Amino acid sequence: QQQVKQSPQSLIVQKGGISIINCAYENTAFDYFPWYQQFPGKGPALLIAIRPDVSEKKEGRFTISFNKSAKQFSLHIMDSQPGDSATYFCAATPALIGGGADGLTFGKGTHLIIQP
Amino acid sequence: NAGVTQTPKFRILKIGQSMTLQCTQDMNHNYMYWYRQDPGMGLKLIYYSVGAGITDKGEVPNGYNVSRSTTEDFPLRLELAAPSQTSVYFCASSRAGGLGYNYGYTFGSGTRLTVV
């Protein structure tokens, strides 16, 4: 079964610190790796995504680092703010040759708390 | 622009009852998905559809059925509800492009279902 393993399960970071969430995958056919942010009572929302042809992607305070040989990718949140407190999910999916859709495989999530 | 709309937001069912969770999107996305989210377990794919008239099973399809008669609507049917179906259900949609990559999912706000 395709899996994406996410750690840690929960994380507490002081305001202004760096939050780091890690994911590892097994299926070498995966080649699209998004991160989703979910606030209580809401659906997940796409935060940032990367494809394996680059090793890093940065959008504002959020950075994905990707290590294809290790089959690992991570989310870094710089200058973490209380408003970043949420659950974060990593995910992966194979390339959709021929236009088919397999759906995203999600990690189990990380509950992030930023303390003021 | 409403995005993905799910109804109802909350529902309590008795064991053995049936119901339909409604999902509609106004973004003209070809691909639609149903996920369930259980605490500490991430999101698991129930069914997906790549277009009107085409549906396929995901990771956890047992006890559910779907149909896709239009691009906009993707209802999820629960037959003979069981306590194991107590969960939060999310509908999502995406477009495909280029080599078939999904360019991020848009999720609805979810339906919280309790089976007693």
From residue A74, give the alpha-carbon distance in Å to each of A38, A44, B46, B90, B93: 17, 18, 26, 25, 25
Q: Does A34 touch chain B (CB under 8 A)?
A: yes
Percent of chain B with pLDDT over 70: 92
Q: How confident is the model at residue B8 (pLDDT cuts 50, 70, 90)?
A: very high
Nearest Cβ partner for A43 among B58, B90, B99:
B90
Distance from CA of A27 to the nearest CA of B (A): 16
- Percentage of residues in chain B with pLDDT exceeding 90? 73
Q: Which one-letter DSSP state was computed for residue A104?
A: P
So what's the pLDDT on residue A51?
87
- CA angle, A91 as apex, B54 and B40 as ends, to 5°? 105
- pLDDT (tens digit, 9 = 90+) per residue, A33-44? 999 999 999 999
Any CB–CB contact under 8 A between B2 and chain A? no
What is the pLDDT, as a whole number, of residue B50? 85
Per-residue pLDDT tens over the stretch B29-54: 888 999 999 988 889 999 999 889 99
- What was the pLDDT predicted at A95? 65
Residue with tokens 């930023």: A114
- CA of B104, closest CA in chain A: separation in Å? 6
Interface check A54 vs B, CB under 8 A: no
Give tens-digit pLDDT for A58-103: 999 999 999 999 999 999 999 999 999 999 999 988 765 444 456 7
Nearest to B37 by CA among A4, A10, A38: A38
Q: Name the percent of chain A lying above pLDDT 70.
A: 91
User: Which residue in this structure is represented by tokens 């994905």?
Assistant: A64
Cβ contact B33–A103 (<8 Å): yes
pLDDT tens figures, A14-35: 999 999 999 999 988 888 899 9
Q: Which of A11-20, A103-112, B12-21 bottoms out in mean pLDDT, i.e. has the lowest?
A: A103-112
Q: Measure A108 CA to nearest chain B CA, in Å.
A: 4
Asked if B4 lies within 8 A of A100 by C-beta distance, the reply is no
Query: How far apart, in whole angstroms, are the C-alpha atoms of residue A10 and residue A1?
Result: 25
A2 to chain B nearest CA, in Å?
10
Please name the residue of chain A whose CA is at the shortest distance from the CA of residue B4: A43
Share the mean pLDDT of chain B: 91
